A = this chain, B = another copy of it.
Amino acid sequence: MNKNQPKDMDKKRRLFEAAARLFAEKGFEKTTVDEIAEAAEVAKGTVYYHFKGKEELFLFLVEEGMAILMRRIAATLKNGMDCRVSLKKLIQVQLEFFAEYWDVCRIVLAEAWGTSTRQEKLQELLNEYYAIVGRIMEQGIRERVIRPQDKEVLCTALFGMTVLVALHFLQKSGPVDWARIEEQLETLFFRGVVIDTGNGKLL
Contact = CB atoms under 8 A, between A and B. Distances in A.
Contacts of A195: 144-147
B192 A168 contact: no
A31 to B, nearest CB: 10
A154 B158 CA distance: 13
A56 to B, nearest CB: 16
Interface in A116-159: 116, 123, 137, 140, 144-147, 149-150, 152-154, 156-159
Interface residues of A, number: 62
A69 to B, nearest CB: 16
Given A29-B29, A194-B191, A196-B196, A171 B106 contact: no
A169 B123 CA distance: 12
Residue among A25, A27, A140, A195 with most chain B CB within 10 A: A27
A187 B190 CA distance: 11
A85 B158 CA distance: 23
A113 interface: yes
Nearest to A115: B25
Residue among A145, A157, A194 with most chain B CB within 10 A: A157
Number of copies: 4
A109 B113 contact: yes
A137 B115 CA distance: 35
A196 B179 CA distance: 24
A75 interface: no
24 contacts: A25-B114, A26-B114, A26-B116, A27-B111, A29-B29, A87-B193, A110-B110, A113-B167, A144-B195, A146-B193, A146-B194, A147-B195, A149-B193, A150-B184, A154-B184, A156-B168, A157-B161, A157-B164, A161-B161, A163-B164, A188-B189, A188-B192, A190-B194, A192-B192
Given A157-B161, A160-B160, 7 more contacts: A26-B116, A146-B193, A147-B191, A157-B185, A159-B164, A160-B165, A191-B194
